[in-house]
Structure 1
Amino acid sequence: MPNNPPGGFGHVPVAVYSCATTSTAVGESEERGRYYADARHWHVTGVWSDPDPALPLADRPGWQAATAALSAGMIRGVVVSGPTRVAADAAQFAALGVLLRDRGGFLAAALNGIPARRTSGQARRRRDIADAASGCFPQSDTHEEGAS
């Protein structure tokens, strides 16, 4: 098994879990989970879903299958599209994350599935680092104004 930390990047086997009443909502939730995993180079090895969010989490067959895969070592984590898919509130979601961590895994919420936006300063810093690594230095940044 890879030793990448939760939230880190690398080829970590994960499951995507979703729970919604319509197949369209399940598909969208799965897509967000896959996008989130792909952005981190995690390998989605299983996808499970349940059609009834009113059922307690322990009684959902899809959730049971995902946690069984975790316990068996087939996956390292479970990605959900949002905390409300598996928990009533943030405290319950955190407790569920601790439970999965005790089993040797992690729980990740994709939320909207879109990577966080970078500020213009962060984007410029990344560009400067890439330029420096390639040996390219823009003229405007290599000399001070007024110096001849």
Structure 2
Amino acid sequence: MPNNPPGGLGHVPVAVYSCATTSTALGESEERGRYYADARHWHVAGVWSDSDPALSIMERPGWQAVTAALSARMIRGVVVSVSTHVAADAAQFTALGVLLRDRGGFLADASSGTSARRTPGQARRRRDIADVASGWFTQPDTYEKGAS
């Protein structure tokens, strides 16, 4: 497989894969995977998911679609938001990464990236910083007394 496939220098098509029981969890996993890929300038060629973590990974329709895309060379890698979406432990995750590497791809765990969710305190602080930067002060006592 070429290092730089057609479509631009550094263009790396990847799949974002997740497996969770709720649509909210699937959405958050997709967001984290996309954020991780975007931070590396990878192109998200597709997003696949499964809603039954009890199935073995090879029996999941979404995972089968991911491996088919890898075999067809539509993608070069797979990004998961949490390693537990594809493996029960670190050894299984490593073994799955080796399997994908043998097929010409790679497996990336986005859980080490920054969190897609923020606490209410973090969201308020960001909002306050943006307000101050734009010149909009929400707290009148932040002005210095006697300043003109």
Provide the secondary structure at the position in 1 that maps to 2:111.
Answer: coil
2:109 equivalent in structure 1: 109
Letter in 1 for 2:57: L
**Per-residue deviation at 1:82?**
1.2
| 2:89 paired with 1:89 | yes
2:50 corresponds to: 50
Matched residue, 1:78: 78
Matched, 1:14 2:14: yes
Deviation at 1:17, TM superposition (A): 0.2
Q: Tell me, yes or no, if structure 1 residue 65 matches structure 2 residue 65.
A: yes
AA aligned opposite 1:78: V
Distance in structure 2 (CA, Å) of the matches to 1:51 and 1:112 = 23
Q: 1:36 to 1:2 in 2, by over 3 A?
A: farther
Equivalent residues, number: 111
Residues 127-146 of structure 1 aligned to structure 2 (within 5 Å): none
Is the CA contact 1:33–1:113 (under 8 Å) kept in the aligned structure 2?
no
Give, in angstroms, the shift of residue 11 of structure 1: 1.7
Residues in 1 aligned to 2:54 and 2:110: alpha-carbon distance in whole angstroms: 21
**TM-score normalised by L of structure 2:** 0.71
Counterpart CA distance in 1 for 2:18 and 2:113 is 13
Unaligned residue ranges in structure 1 (runs of 5+):
116-148
Hey, what's the Cα distance between the residues in 2 that align with 1:3 and 1:114?
27
Give the TM-score normalised by the residue count of structure 1: 0.71
CA distance in 2 between counterparts of 1:2 and 1:36 reads: 23
1:112 to partner: Cα distance: 5.1
Percent of residue pairs bearing the same amino acid type: 83
C-alpha distance in structure 1 between counterparts of 2:106 and 2:21, whole Å: 25
Q: 1:39-84 CA deviation, whole Å, 9 max, x = no partner?
A: 0000000000000111100000000000100010000000000111
Computed over aligned residues only, the root mean square deviation of the Cα atoms, in angstroms, reads 1.7
Counterpart Cα distance in 2 of 1:50 and 1:113: 22
Query: Separation in 2 of the partners of 1:34 and 1:43?
Result: 9
Q: Which residue of structure 1 aligns with residue 129 of structure 2?
A: none
